[in-house]
Amino acid sequence: MDIGRQFQLWETEGKLDIPHDQIQSWLKEQNPDTWHKIAMSWHYDYDPSPLLWIVNQPDCDFGTACQIFGTEGHSFMTTPTWQELGDSAHQASWKMCNTIVERWQANSFATADLKPATGAMRTYQIMAPRHKDAGTPLTWDVPDHVFHYEGTRDAQSQYTSFEGQIYWNFDFWQKLAGFT
């Protein structure tokens, strides 16, 4: 069976039966590598509360924070307070980004091992000077070392996320399904 058909099957058969309101409970049973894999593929149009839970964990890796902030932070880089945002999902995303910056500033990430996606922080890095040059104050003072972080290893997990749900990692699912 070709890889495209396998992916179509994975979309239906690779999903774990975890209701959205139970994802945080499921995450509590996982490790920082799985949290990172979930953050790498999370669909940010869905409820960000599982990601907020991850960034609040003492064991959240610096690279996971870079991944999440790199995806969301530029959206709020000129929004000084969460109260200015109308919907609760955007408010939660702003709070999540704020938590990450506070932890970066306090140097409170226990580990800095996991690799974010290539260029995860690039949009923020490009946009910040443009806003400063235009006289627009930035919401956060992101420490410079964040922009240079690369991580030392890829996260290892049999799980991922897709469309706001938890799935078997595609490669792991292929083995379970007997394709590899």
Q: Is residue 22 part of a domain?
A: no
Query: What domain count does the chain have?
Result: 1
Expressed as residue numbers, the domain containing 120 is 34-156
Strands 159-162 and 165-168: antiparallel
Q: Is residue 73 part of a domain?
A: yes
Secondary structure of residue 139 in the 3-state scheme: coil
Q: Is residue 70 part of a domain?
A: yes
Report the pLDDT value the prediction gives residue 37, as an integer from 0 to 100: 97
DSSP 153: B
Residue type, 40: M
Report the pLDDT value the prediction gives residue 28, as an integer from 0 to 100: 97
Question: Could you tell me the pTM of the whole model?
Answer: 0.92
Burial class (CB in 10 A: 0-12, 13-18, 19+), 138: middle
Report the pLDDT value the prediction gives residue 152, as an integer from 0 to 100: 97
Secondary structure of residue 149 in the 3-state scheme: coil
Q: Is residue 38 part of a domain?
A: yes
Distance, in Å, from the CA atom of 19 to the CA atom of 166, rounded to the nearest integer, reads 9
Distance, in Å, from the CA atom of 41 to the CA atom of 97, rounded to the nearest integer, reads 17
Q: Is residue 120 part of a domain?
A: yes
Q: Is residue 4 part of a domain?
A: no
Asked if 129 contacts 80 with a C-beta cutoff of 8 angstroms, the reply is: no
Q: Is residue 74 part of a domain?
A: yes
Report the pLDDT value the prediction gives residue 116, as an integer from 0 to 100: 96
Q: What are the phi and psi torsion angles at 60 (to 5°)?
A: -60, 130
Report the pLDDT value the prediction gives residue 151, as an integer from 0 to 100: 96
Q: Is residue 40 part of a domain?
A: yes
List beta partners, residue 165. 162
Show the low-confidence residues of the chain (pLDDT under 70): none
Distance, in Å, from the CA atom of 91 to the CA atom of 17, rounded to the nearest integer, reads 28
Report the pLDDT value the prediction gives residue 169, as an integer from 0 to 100: 96
Report the pLDDT value the prediction gives residue 74, as an integer from 0 to 100: 85
Distance, in Å, from the CA atom of 65 to the CA atom of 103, rounded to the nearest integer, reads 9
Report the pLDDT value the prediction gives residue 8, as an integer from 0 to 100: 95
Asked if 102 contacts 51 with a C-beta cutoff of 8 angstroms, the reply is: no
